[in-house]
Structure 1
């Protein structure tokens, strides 16, 4: 599974091949030991999404946790951000979610939260990883009454009440279309919006273990766009498999991505004195139009590497309370410690309800600059940064675009790819530049 077991979002891999039940068992043992800080009887919350492999990995993980003497609160199928919240709600020492988010069904993952619901820092993940092959020597295996127990709890109701508490009004009179991606949001999302008074229409809320993210969800926004037009909804909301992301669309079916959602919320929060340090944290992938729009409203943008963990690190470092990604993974740090698609949807709808403006009008807060992304398959990802010819072509492209565009070349974190992104006002020019850059990288590194 690579040189380091933990990636940017926990341990991921093909279930039963790379992410095996044995590995899940060992992660349960090592994680419970490290995160308990030697507490004699720690408690760990465990949740999962709807993948068919979730039952298998959950059983192995829980067995590993209980084998150390730790107790488990099993909350069933809930969104990833629900596990972060429920860890705090139940006063647990840690939380674990079994999910591979927006990835295909053959993949799964194990993501661990600390007692406050934050993703683990690299140092703690490294400590857990170092213990995996040394579990029996260093970690106790109690017997008799000291073995851990499993307690089943309803995770949906307390999480739903938490989400509803974030809304500053009800949504009576608003017609909402939901795409639940046949994933972890399939029960709780319709429940929340109906109890907030909205008229709700739902698709992709019938998971069978294998249809999670299949031609649906936030990575397929055309589905919610069409559904909104079919049912004549005011707003469309599309989640990914573990519901930590939101992609919306307006009543016309136009996509409202993470940049739009952040811009709308940042403007609202700034005008009410709620945006800490008048700053939003975004990644290098956020559109230039996002930064331009916020600058015109007196809001600063801080950019990070791609990955919500880097967004969160910058938010904690700078004391900011709003940040996220173009993909719809948005963190409202005043409310939760990770991206939360349903919470984000409630925030967006609260603004729609209060302003009495259609989302199509709110969406116009920013002008989207054309953006071209090309993936180049290479043998050596590391070689691009030192290659003189590649550097020369990048500099030429940047000089040609000037202040009206930008170039971003970066290696993929998980695949043998170099990602080329070119952004600017003229679509023809940025397409030509992106292809030219991609060809040079292919020639030099393939």
Structure 2
């Protein structure tokens, strides 16, 4: 059953648009609060946010919604998404909320919900909350009696708690003394905690994207715009550059020569280190269908397995939990390390990469580029309606391309989950062949869509 409000990662949209208004946020608070009121104890929700201007509006609206159904609210202020997940669990809250649209521009915002275990909600929970949101329109959510209305308070030591947690993931026998690190916080949720944690571990820290004004989150900075970070690393003679996204659950690294290191290379680095230490569960990791075939071949050569999921860190985490893996992630930089966190954590992932650098005593340019990526090409074909992928002519072209790539590459063809677009990706040993096959499939889809 299609969900009405929730997408692949919570509820997201343009602020003061259809699903991202103060009224909607209040209804989400009422609905989620009612859903998680289980038992007769005093219920609690923790709320964090990134640095978007609209965060104030949505935060206040959600406080009104939660307190109206009898839940106490703990406000964390600007905090990374993984910090909210961690604090939900450590503070024994009944649920957690992160107000953020991640790497989107400041005009967008979103609401991510966590259960008491710190994990994102199941489909069943989201469907139940959606039904209650619609019920809120008709007064179907019971409000708390006056003596039971919730209270709201702000926690002043939330940042310190998360910094302490993040530092605890770095090996005690290693140090960042002597490291010069440029950290780009995207003018987002990690702008205070990430530089502080790195400095307290001994590094010399140069900061970018740490002056949020409500409108500059992800604006020319952060993991989706690493150009300034690349320039600064080279100009300052730094050993490494670290880029987070708006809610700090994504990581991109830049080596000392100014070259970007993506999530595939970082997963290979972390998994190799874990395997060496005997910590890699199931002798493998979880990645998505978009991770480069070069990663899979590199891991196989070391006896490390890899399973693939659909695109989205949610699918990665589901596979990790179901099959017992402790390393997983996406090429885009969402890296999940389940020994420490219930969601992607850019800072914790960065500390694991830094631990490998400190152990190896090698430059980032030598250590982090673990394999040569195969040529990979992704193109999008927009269509107006129908199901062009089901056309016989399209299926025939895809079958021919798959046969041509056997043993030399692979195809990933899928409809977008958010817009009328077919995504066509191919990768293989021969770049010209990859381009030819992608173009041929795209042409077939366009004809079928006419």
The TM-score, its normalising length taken from structure 2, stands at: 0.96
CA distance in 2, matches of 1:44, 1:220: 33
Q: What are the residue-to-residue correspondences of 1:35-434 with 2, within 5 Å?
A: 35-135=36-136, 137-154=139-156, 155-168=158-171, 169-380=174-385, 383-434=387-438
Partner of 1:442: 446
Question: Shift of the alpha carbon at 1:161?
Answer: 0.4
Aligned to 1:12: 12
Q: Can you list the C-alpha shifts for 1:262-294, whole angstroms capped at 9, x where unaligned? A: 001111111211011102000000000000000
In the alignment, the residues of structure 2 paired with residue 39 and residue 137 of structure 1 have an alpha-carbon distance, to the nearest angstrom, of 23
Structure 1: how far apart are the matches of 2:44 and 2:116?
10
Q: Residue deviations 1:401-442, cap 9 Å, x none?
A: 221111111111111111111111222221222122212212
For residue 385 of structure 1, report the CA deviation from its aligned partner. 3.5
Looking at structure 1, the residues matched to 135 and 432 of structure 2 have their Cα atoms a distance apart, in angstroms, of: 57
Write the distance in 2 (CA, Å) between the matches of 1:438 and 1:275: 39
Rounded Cα–Cα distance in structure 2 between residues aligned with 1:57 and 1:253: 38
Displacement of 1:357 in angstroms is: 1.2
Unpaired runs of 5+ residues, structure 2, are: none
2-structure distance, mates of 1:70, 1:115: 14
> Which secondary structure state, in structure 1, belongs to the residue aligned with residue 406 of structure 2?
helix
Q: CA 1:375–1:39 in structure 2 vs 1: closer, same or farther (change >3 Å)?
A: farther
Q: Secondary structure at the match of 2:112?
A: strand
Q: Give unpaired runs (5+ residues) of structure 1.
A: none
Select between 382-391 and 354-363 the one with higher mean Cα deviation: 382-391
C-alpha distance in 2 between matches for 1:441 and 1:385? 7
* CA deviation after TM superposition for structure 1 residue 40, in Å: 4.4
Number of residue pairs matched by the alignment:
444
Tell me how far 1:397 sits from its aligned partner: 1.6
Partner in structure 2 of residue 25 of structure 1: 26
Cα distance in 2 for residues equivalent to 1:394 and 1:340 = 37
Distance in 1 separating the partners of 2:250 and 2:404:
35
Superposition deviation, residue 206 in structure 1: 0.8
Task: State the partner residue of 1:34.
Answer: 35
- TM-superposed CA distance for 1:143, in Å, is 3.6
Give the root-mean-square deviation of aligned CA atoms: 1.3
Paired with 1:428 and 1:211, the residues of 2 have a C-alpha distance of: 40
CA displacement 1:309-350 (0-9 Å, x = unmatched): 100110111011111100000100010000000110011101
For 1:353 and 1:289, locate their aligned partners in 2 and report how far apart those are by CA, in whole Å: 25
Structure 2 residue matching 1:140: 3-state secondary structure:
coil
Cα deviation digits, residues 190-232 of structure 1 (max 9, x gap): 1110111101111111111111111211111233222211111
Report the more deviating stretch, 70-79 or 206-215.
206-215
Whole-Å separation in 2 of the counterparts to 1:398 and 1:216: 39
Quick one: distance in 2 between partners of 1:436 and 1:223? 37
Is the partner of 2:181 in helix, strand or coil?
strand
The whole-number CA distance in structure 1 between the counterparts of 2:7 and 2:134 is 19
TM-score after normalising by structure 1: 0.97
Match of 2:153, SS?
Answer: strand
Asked if 1 retains the 8 angstrom alpha-carbon contact of 2:389 and 2:445, the reply is no
SS for the counterpart of 1:241 is coil
> Partners of 2:442 and 2:271 in 1: how far apart?
35
